Chains A and B, each alone.
Chain A
């Protein structure tokens, strides 16, 4: 089985408070995988640990079976690209210059016409060539998101990490961004790992979903097996109804489960992973190794 991206026992925390606990998974090539979970569950932290933006306390990340720990920063940037959640910048530059930054891992002091050609190609691919000379700071949220995806694309990596790329977008732009990523995965055979809040977007576009809570992976699998009413209630404390829309689960929130201000620790709740409950007889904290092929 081909493995594009592999995480083994990732642990991370600030001082004594752990944020990621023993996170492990494998993702095959040309897959779109989303990480879902409540606020503070460690989705963004996991993405940053994978890209070595922050250093995990223990564990390893492998890309094409090569250890990221043994790569220098430029080599990591040639293998992994990252689309940040925030597009805030201290000084703005135009769209072309912003996207050209993504060529940094491949070039020296001068950019060649070949590098610039790749920028134009990506701008055309994403339909934003007409914005090339616009100031990045003047763009709408959806346009900025496309520019950040374009910058990641010109890095020419096999794996793209996206940290909540739809968080500030209207529904049209949410679909637009997800369609772009989905097309890239399909046509360019890239692997995309996306931290996402919207369960329905995750359901519509993902090959597989990783569901997290409190720094641990709680469930993993295809959308139908992960996005079950039981799992969502256990993770989010929200009662939902799950319908089927275009062969994917569609989540309809019903009500919050009252918790007196705090969410219960769901160790003893029934939890499913698309199989019978007996597949996980113990607490789901025991899940260690998950393979997504």
Chain B
């Protein structure tokens, strides 16, 4: 009887209890996006205050706004210079790196249908590390000067993923092919890097090791436009595939039956995300935790719709990365702990909390 009444009321235009529940869920998804964007803005202001020079949160925001709208606020020149030239570029770099790695982790997990996939599954980090080793030990690089290491890291990161994608295009782009090829390439380039380490002197060894730990120190305003340009092209392309990624989690056969060419989408996503990851990794080194865990955090909170999941993974990746970097810079100042180490130290407990308290059956189904 109750069911009949509900059906009649639905026909009359009134929304059913489940429709209302769904509306609330969709509203909560949008609200969550707004909240994490607001949170990252607040977090940025807080992190700017951390450092040897005392700056309040209000001063930090005033200094940032003053640069965008000169004369709007009165800001001390020293504060302005410290905020704009030292602290904010590093945070901006962290936001971009975390955003890129989070997004790429999310799309990689979807196309490889594997919760353990990350932006580095295709051997990008091993390739980049090899490029750095090559430049550091032998001095061979495609570009010289300040881009000696960065240029090589970028080139070899792309070479690695390009090789795997090429292989997959010839042999069939199944997720198993890509993961196995990625593992093989990872082992090969890791072994080559180890070989270089074996012959490296102390200074070369220090350079290679610190790059491998991942750090945001390389970011400055001169690098950010390049990253923004790559992101500006690549991330909308990834977002456009959000529907297809939703469908691909149901398997290739289902994807094809609903009109999605799974192999083509997989190769496209790999190509675009490799470009994003190579752009990030050549500046930051290997920060592996973000791309693996940020998508899971987003999935636990938002469910499986990639239209929300992709941007949320990026923003959560940025939040974790800049929070970890803020702690890494200041916890035992003046010593700076490499960001890659601190992201795991900060992120793992948070992730474990979400796994234990969250809707864990939303994934691993």
B-contacting residues of A (Cβ < 8 Å)? 48, 51-53, 73-74, 76-78, 80-82, 84, 86, 88-94, 96-98, 101-102, 104-105, 107, 109, 120, 123-124, 129-130, 132-133, 135-138, 151, 155
Contact = CB atoms under 8 A, between A and B. Distances in A.
A124 B16 CA distance: 11
B254 interface: yes
Residue from B25, B253, B257, B303 having most chain A Cβ neighbours under 10 A: B257
Residue from A92, A133, A138 having most chain B Cβ neighbours under 10 A: A92
Interface string B349-365: 00000000001011111
Contacts of A98: 250
Contact of A129 (B18, B246, B303, B359): B18
B362 A92 contact: yes
Contact of B22 (A91, A96, A138): A96
26 contacts: A51-B257, A53-B256, A73-B256, A74-B259, A80-B257, A82-B253, A82-B254, A82-B257, A84-B257, A91-B113, A91-B115, A91-B365, A92-B361, A93-B304, A93-B305, A97-B246, A102-B258, A104-B247, A104-B260, A120-B16, A123-B18, A124-B7, A124-B10, A135-B361, A135-B365, A138-B361
Interface string B100-136: 0000000001100111000000000000000000000
A143 to B, nearest CB: 13
Residue from B7, B110, B259, B261 having most chain A Cβ neighbours under 10 A: B259
A130 B6 CA distance: 12
Majority DSSP secondary structure for residues of B touching A: helix
Given A101-B246, A101-B247, A132-B18, 6 more contacts: A74-B259, A76-B259, A89-B365, A92-B364, A92-B365, A105-B258
Interface residues of B, number: 41
Contacts of B362: 91-93, 135, 137
Given A104-B243, A132-B21, A133-B25, A91 B257 contact: no
A109 B115 contact: no
Contacts of B258: 77, 101-102, 104-105, 151, 155
B249 interface: yes
A123 B19 CA distance: 11
A104 B255 CA distance: 10
B307 interface: yes
A93 B362 CA distance: 6
Given A51-B257, A77-B257, A133-B25, A91 B18 contact: no
Nearest to B257: A82
A94 B29 CA distance: 14
A135 B361 CA distance: 7
Contacts of A53: 253, 256-257
Contact of A52 (B115, B256, B307, B359): B256
B249 A93 contact: yes
A133 B18 contact: yes
Interface in B227-261: 240, 242-244, 246-247, 249-251, 253-254, 256-261
A109 B256 contact: no
Interface in B280-311: 299, 303-305, 307
A265 to B, nearest CB: 31
Nearest to A52: B256
Residue from B7, B19, B21, B304 having most chain A Cβ neighbours under 10 A: B304
Given A90-B115, A105-B258, A97 B251 contact: no
A157 B247 CA distance: 18
Contacts of A124: 7, 10
A280 B60 CA distance: 90
Nearest to A72: B259
A73 B260 contact: yes
